[in-house]
Amino acid sequence: NAGVIQTPRHKVTGKGQEATLWCEPISGHSAVFWYRQTIVQGLEFLTYFRNQAPIDDSGMPKERFSAQMPNQSHSTLKIQSTQPQDSAVYLCASSLVRGGSYEQYFGPGTRLTVL
């Protein structure tokens, strides 16, 4: 089992450009979560899919950020018109989310730097 796969590992964009981050969950896991990690804010929940359906996007900035899960094998987080304050490590996790299992397993993250 390869674990959660995130690509790219590092991405550098110029201010105003678009960034798309990819996540491949562990095979058989029904839920995908996105989090953001910064020095100042720490770890923050962004959004969550279960069986490919969006369940909770309460942590997503209302503008410029969107997430999709077009099939069970990958999810994307897209940031339009990136700003320097979007610089962070974006972490994806997957979980079985059944039978009382809450455990979330994380990928290595994508470090986004907006110049």
Cα–Cα distances in Å, from 92 out to 14, 15, 85, 115?
Answer: 23, 23, 19, 23
Beta bridge partners of 36: 44, 90
Residue closer to other proteins, measured from CB, 48 or 65: 48
C-beta closer to other proteins: residue 68 or 96 = 96
* Site pattern 54..93 for other proteins (x: CB under 8 A): -xx-xx-------------------------------x-x
Q: Closest approach of Cβ 108 to other proteins, in Å?
A: 4
